[in-house]
């Protein structure tokens, strides 16, 4: 059977530009749907509707129970092998406040949920080379949450945060 020859359509330049523009409009609509779905899924995974968690709740749907990590010299290392990691962060030596400047571990694409271990101590999530966000964020309640995505080993980009005190 002979090979099929591509059909060539001769469009004037304006028609070509309009066809390209329509392709971009369709792509843009598809991307908007994808991003809207991602945000919806994150809200569902976080178990957050509005700005607060249900009274008495410290767990986040989809992430399971949090495991405890304590800051040592401004650092923690995430544990576990799950794509969704959820950790209670405590200050070094039970200090009233401590800065978390470095989070090591994780694989590209992993999600990391952090919350304070104790509402009477403040964990300051600090913008820098490991945690990348616009501003520092204080976890000063066990109901506060911060979500990050790992973009490479030890580099976590901020996705979302909620202050629920």
Tens-place pLDDT, residues 87-102: 999 999 999 999 999 9
For residue 139, what pLDDT band results from cuts at 50, 70 and 90?
very high
pLDDT in tens, 22-38: 777 777 667 666 665 66
Q: What is the pLDDT of residue 15?
A: 77
pLDDT in tens, 39-83: 556 666 665 544 344 444 444 445 667 899 999 999 999 987 777
Q: What is the pLDDT of residue 66?
A: 85
pLDDT in tens, 7-19: 555 667 777 777 7
Distance (Å, whole) CA 45 – CA 159 = 13
For residue 124, what pLDDT band results from cuts at 50, 70 and 90?
very high
In the chain, DSSP assigns E strands to: 67-70, 75-77, 84-90, 97-100, 102-104, 111-116, 122-125, 131-132, 137-139, 145-152, 155-162
How is domain 67-162 classified at the architecture level of CATH?
A: Sandwich (2.60)
Q: What is the pLDDT of residue 63?
A: 60
Distance (Å, whole) CA 52 – CA 43 = 12
Query: Residue 88's beta-bridge partner residues?
Result: 68, 115
- Which residue carries 């986040």 as its tokens? 60
Distance (Å, whole) CA 107 – CA 156 = 10
pLDDT greater than 70 at residue 151 = yes
23 phi-psi bin (left φ>0, alpha ψ -120 to 50, beta other): alpha
The pTM assigned to this predicted structure is 0.63
Domain ranges of the chain: 10-46, 67-162
Q: What is the pLDDT of residue 34?
A: 67
Q: What is the pLDDT of residue 117?
A: 95
Distance (Å, whole) CA 10 – CA 150 = 47
């Amino acid at each position: 059977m002979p090979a099929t020859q591509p059909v060539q359509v001769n469009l004037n330049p304006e028609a070509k530009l309009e066809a390209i523009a329509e392709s971009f409009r369709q792509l843009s609509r598809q991307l908007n749907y994808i991003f809207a779905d991602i945000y919806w899924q994150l809200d569902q995974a976080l178990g957050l509707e509005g700005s607060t968690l249900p009274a008495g709740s410290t767990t986040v749907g989809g992430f399971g129970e949090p495991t405890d990590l304590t800051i040592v010299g401004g650092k923690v290392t995430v544990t576990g092998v799950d794509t969704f990691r959820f950790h209670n962060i405590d200050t070094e030596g039970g200090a009233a406040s401590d800065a978390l400047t470095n989070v090591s571990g994780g694989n590209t694409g992993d999600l990391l949920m952090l919350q304070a271990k104790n509402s009477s101590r403040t964990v300051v999530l600090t913008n820098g080379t490991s945690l990348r966000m616009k501003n520092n964020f204080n976890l000063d309640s066990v109901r506060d949450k911060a979500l990050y995505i790992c973009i490479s080993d030890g580099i976590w980009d901020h996705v979302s945060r909620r202050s629920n005190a």
